[in-house]
């Protein structure tokens, strides 16, 4: 700047520039020209300064923010919350210990000091790593702040820390099967965590974005309190009935939200090694089962929806149904002609089989297809199993599938189908995320007529008043339900002792809001169950306990002195028998 | 003319000082900004850690364990819930000081009968 200012004070003398530019011109013009030149020069300089200032102001932010003290702030994940905002999964900063072998002076000393501070470090392995010629080795991922301070004080050269995000699951195993877990590099490998990655988080990470904490939390439909209540009852039930496994599901029939999903044994996502155990799979989505009598609800609904069969129709259940070399018997054989409600409450295999046969194989197949029972059900969590559908579907298949054998579906799938029978006939794909009723209605498909749904609710309620579900009829909540006991296939034949019992309850039956499924895998008979291991003796009372505990949490007000089902449901909906 | 030159020189020096000042200030600000950013990040990390800890302490599993060990509470029964509509009307407050207080009277009767209070009835659902 001072250089360009020089021509000004040197005006009386003839400077180099003036001579070159003007030579012998008149003084006035020269004066004006010089002033003009000075103005031009200064304008230029100030423009440059202004421009530079603007540039600095607009760019220095970004540069300042990245100077992060040598951290790798990679792979932050959004929090996962339950429907009330309770934290289910979050990131916590944890220091990790690394070494730079080339800069280590005395390996033995370093090993000795480190193992003394962090006892679970393996001395041999540590020595081997530090003696290598590499520039960087991880010594231990995720140490505590206290350990970090101690190691820092030791002052070993060539040992450093990097702070990393560690995923923590404060509720331990409570919601494990829903949220899944991540690996040590914070990549989701199961459940909702994997879904987050698949939805684009992984791409963001690989591009280096999404590296700080400012991400919108993901809110699930799961209610942590309900989840806990269901889980603790299922664990108690599993112990009591010495079952191999127990599973439970609570969904909102009007929105398809999964409010709770438990499959015990489960695992702690903070220690995901357990998840590899085959016994700990999520039986509700990853396993497929023959659902037994629960499927009768679908058969009866199909019959009622066809319009050819009404609640007053009756079927012959006097003799067992012979089909080739097979003969179909009833568990609670009545040996008489049964009406549709009787078939449902006595859970008559013969009756439901005849009902399905009267409509034909193709009708049956088309109906189950429409109810989403024949295709793989996809939800947010990536684990899902394909239903096992018979390749050639003849009359015998229709007979057995009518009462729940010969077709294996994921229990979540069956729950979706039965929800549709309860909520007025709308098939809504289940979701683990929060969803409003309006959103659900946009996705919903009308699969049965609303009248059919009313009649099914009546039958479900009747079952709790007179049928096999009496032990789940918790006073005040107007429960309805259908039991299911399926014999498991062991070595190609149905076992008489290995049972899969289930109970599907609707709550409350007159105005359904929630569907509850309880499933026990191989429950054992107990003295107080009189040697029976069927659903009515184990899954149903468990459901009763669960409903008593969960209904207040779900905000269902208890009502007393309600009329029986034929007056409250049938009369109110003006259905004809 | 000299005065004008003098003025221009002074203005220039002033401008240079001013620009330098701004530059210096902006460097300071940038450093402060970086420091505050770091602090915010540390605070956020601390908040996240505390929230995780709170969630852990608040987890229903733990609370249930504690309640079972230390409290005589039992699971609620549907009969223990009642409607707001079923609450009795509040008695009129006494008009004069020497009149007996109706709620106080009720309470003293209750105490004489030695009824265990608290657990049942009158509770309303959330």
Instruction: State the Cα–Cα distance between residues A502 and A414, nearest whole angstrom.
Output: 11
Measured CA to CA in angstroms, residue A331 lies from A350, A403, A485, A541, A551 at distances of: 10, 12, 10, 20, 32
Give 3-state DSSP helix, strand, coil % of chain B, rounded to 5.
65, 0, 30
Q: Say which of B15, B30, B54 has its CB closest to residue A60.
A: B30
Contact A231, A267 (CB under 8 A): no
Q: Do A213 and B44 touch (CB under 8 A)?
A: yes
Q: Do B45 and A225 touch (CB under 8 A)?
A: no
Query: Quick one: tokens of B57?
Result: 């302490």
Q: Quote the ipTM score.
A: 0.70
Residues of A with CB below 8 A from B30's CB? 60, 64
pLDDT at A49 over 70: yes
Contact A498, A232 (CB under 8 A): no
Q: Do B55 and A90 touch (CB under 8 A)?
A: yes
Query: What does the H/E/C string look like for A68-83?
Result: CCCCCCCCCCCCEECC
| Collapsed DSSP state (helix, strand, coil) of residue A161 | strand
Mean pLDDT confidence for A266-292: 87
Residues of B with CB below 8 A from A61's CB? 33
Of the segments A97-111, A195-209, A403-417, which one has the largest average pLDDT value? A403-417
Measured CA to CA in angstroms, residue A132 lies from A141, A204, B44 at distances of: 19, 34, 38
Top pLDDT among A209 and A101 is at: A101
Residues of A with CB below 8 A from B22's CB? 53
Mean pLDDT confidence for A324-349: 86
Top pLDDT among A93 and A213 is at: A93
pLDDT at residue number B120 = 47
Per-residue DSSP letter, A431: B
Instruction: State the Cα–Cα distance between residues A443 and A429, nearest whole angstrom.
Output: 7
Residues of B with CB below 8 A from A560's CB? 79
Instruction: State the Cα–Cα distance between residues A27 and A203, nearest whole angstrom.
Output: 72
Measured CA to CA in angstroms, residue A338 lies from A148, A349, A351, A445 at distances of: 75, 11, 7, 33
* A539-574 confidence digits (pLDDT tens): 999 999 999 999 999 988 888 888 887 777 777 665
Percent of chain A having pLDDT more than 70? Answer: 90
> Chain A residue closest to B61 (CA)?
A228
Lowest mean pLDDT among A16-20, A488-492, B49-53: A16-20
Of the segments A480-494, A560-574, B106-120, which one has the largest average pLDDT value? A480-494
pLDDT at residue number A577 = 40
Q: Do A64 and B58 touch (CB under 8 A)?
A: no
* A239-259 confidence digits (pLDDT tens): 999 999 999 999 999 999 999
* A293 included as an active-site residue: yes
Strands A445-446 and A137-140: unpaired
pTM for the model: 0.77
pLDDT at A150 over 90: no
Lowest mean pLDDT among A17-26, A72-81, A391-400, B85-94: A17-26
* A187-230 confidence digits (pLDDT tens): 888 899 999 888 877 777 666 665 555 678 889 999 999 999 99
pLDDT at residue number A469 = 86
Instruction: State the nearest Cα–Cα gap between A512 and chain B, in angstroms.
Output: 18
Instruction: State the Cα–Cα distance between residues A249 and A261, nearest whole angstrom.
Output: 5
Mean pLDDT confidence for A491-510: 88
pLDDT at residue number B126 = 38
Lowest mean pLDDT among A100-114, A175-189, A197-211: A197-211
Q: Do B61 and A174 touch (CB under 8 A)?
A: yes
Of the residues A293, A419, A468, A535, only one is catalytic, namely: A293
Does B5 contact chain A (CB < 8 Å)? yes
Query: Quick one: tokens of A527?
Result: 């003295």
pLDDT band at A135 (very low <50, low <70, confident <90, very high): confident
Mean pLDDT confidence for A27-51: 88
pLDDT at residue number A103 = 82
Nearest to A569 by CA among A446, A439, A480: A480
Q: Do B64 and A548 touch (CB under 8 A)?
A: no
Q: Say which of A56, A171, A560 has its CB closest to residue B59.
A: A171
* A423-478 confidence digits (pLDDT tens): 999 999 999 999 999 999 999 999 999 999 999 999 999 999 888 888 888 888 99
Q: Say which of A56, A172, A557 has its CB closest to residue B125.
A: A557
Mean pLDDT confidence for A21-28: 67
Top pLDDT among A480 and B102 is at: A480
Q: Select A225-575's CATH number: 3.40.50.970, 3.40.710.10, 2.70.98.90, 3.40.50.620.
A: 3.40.710.10
Instruction: State the Cα–Cα distance between residues A564 and A556, nearest whole angstrom.
Output: 19
Q: What is the DSSP string of A432-459?
A: SB---HHHHHHH-EE-S-HHHHHHHHHH
* B72-109 confidence digits (pLDDT tens): 888 778 888 887 888 888 777 667 767 777 777 777 77
């Amino acid at each position: 700047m001072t250089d360009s200012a020089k021509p000004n004070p040197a005006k009386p003398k003839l400077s180099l520039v003036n001579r070159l530019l003007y030579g012998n011109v008149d003084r006035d013009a020269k004066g004006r020209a010089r002033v003009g030149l000075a103005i031009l020069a200064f304008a230029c300089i100030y423009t440059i300064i202004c421009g530079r200032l603007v540039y600095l102001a607009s760019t220095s932010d970004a540069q300042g923010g990245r100077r992060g003290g040598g951290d790798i702030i990679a792979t932050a994940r959004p929090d996962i919350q339950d429907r009330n905002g309770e934290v289910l999964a979050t990131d916590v900063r944890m220091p990790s210990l690394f070494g730079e072998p080339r800069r280590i002076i005395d390996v033995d000393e370093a090993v000795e000091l480190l193992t003394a501070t962090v006892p679970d470090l393996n001395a041999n392995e540590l020595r081997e790593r530090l003696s290598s010629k590499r520039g960087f080795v991880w010594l231990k991922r995720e140490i505590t702040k206290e350990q970090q301070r101690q190691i820092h004080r030791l002052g070993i050269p060539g040992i450093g820390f990097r702070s990393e995000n560690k995923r923590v699951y404060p509720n331990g195993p409570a919601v494990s099967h829903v949220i899944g877990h991540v690996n040590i590099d914070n990549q989701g490998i199961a459940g909702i965590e994997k879904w987050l990655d698949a939805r684009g988080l992984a791409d963001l990470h690989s591009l280096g974005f999404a590296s700080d904490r400012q991400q919108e939390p993901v809110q699930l439909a799961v209610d942590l309190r309900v989840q806990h209540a269901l889980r603790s009852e299922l664990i108690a039930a599993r112990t009591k009935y010495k079952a191999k496994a127990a599973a439970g599901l609570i969904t909102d029939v009007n929105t398809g939200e999964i409010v709770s999903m438990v499959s015990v044994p489960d695992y702690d996502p903070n220690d995901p090694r357990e998840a590899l155990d085959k016994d700990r799979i999520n039986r509700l989505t990853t396993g497929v089962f023959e659902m037994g009598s629960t499927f009768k609800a679908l058969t009866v609904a199909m019959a009622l929806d066809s319009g050819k069969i009404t609640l007053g129709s009756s079927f012959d259940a006097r003799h067992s149904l012979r089909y080739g070399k097979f003969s179909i018997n009833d568990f609670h054989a009545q040996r008489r002609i049964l009406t549709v409600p009787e078939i449902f409450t006595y859970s008559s295999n013969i009756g439901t089989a005849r009902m399905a046969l009267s409509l034909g194989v193709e009708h049956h197949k088309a109906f189950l297809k429409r109810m989403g029972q024949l295709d793989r059900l996809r939800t947010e969590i990536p684990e899902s199993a394909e239903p096992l559908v018979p390749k050639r579907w003849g009359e015998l298949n229709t007979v057995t599938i009518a009462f729940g054998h010969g077709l294996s579906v994921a229990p979540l799938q069956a729950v979706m189908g039965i929800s549709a029978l309860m909520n007025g006939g709308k098939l809504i794909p289940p979701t683990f995320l929060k969803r409003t009723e309006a959103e659900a209605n946009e996705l919903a498909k009308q699969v049965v007529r609303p009248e059919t749904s009313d009649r099914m609710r009546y039958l479900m309620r009747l079952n709790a008043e007179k049928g096999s579900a009496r032990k789940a009829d918790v006073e005040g909540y107007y429960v309805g339900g259908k039991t299911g006991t399926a014999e498991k296939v062991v070595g190609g034949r149905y076992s008489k002792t290995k049972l899969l019992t289930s109970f599907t309850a609707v709550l409350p039956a007159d105005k359904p809001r929630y569907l509850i499924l309880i499933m026990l895998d191989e429950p054992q008979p107990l003295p107080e169950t009189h040697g029976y291991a069927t659903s009515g003796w184990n899954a149903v009372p468990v459901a009763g306990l669960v409903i008593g505990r969960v209904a207040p949490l779900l905000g269902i007000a208890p009502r007393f002195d309600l009329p029986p089902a034929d007056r409250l449901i049938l009369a109110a909906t003006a259905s004809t028998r | 003319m000299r005065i004008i030159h003098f003025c221009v020189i002074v203005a220039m020096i002033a401008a240079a000082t001013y620009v330098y000042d701004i530059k210096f200030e902006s460097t300071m600000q940038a450093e402060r900004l970086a420091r505050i950013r770091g602090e915010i990040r540390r605070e956020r990390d601390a908040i996240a850690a505390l929230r995780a800890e709170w969630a852990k302490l608040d987890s229903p599993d733990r609370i249930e364990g504690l309640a079972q060990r230390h409290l005589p509470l039992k699971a609620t029964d549907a009969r223990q819930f009642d409607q707001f509509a079923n609450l009795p009307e509040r008695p009129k407050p006494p008009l004069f000081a020497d009149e007996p207080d109706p709620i106080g009277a009720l309470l003293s009767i209750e105490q004489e009968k030695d009824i265990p209070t608290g657990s049942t009835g009158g509770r309303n659902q959330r």
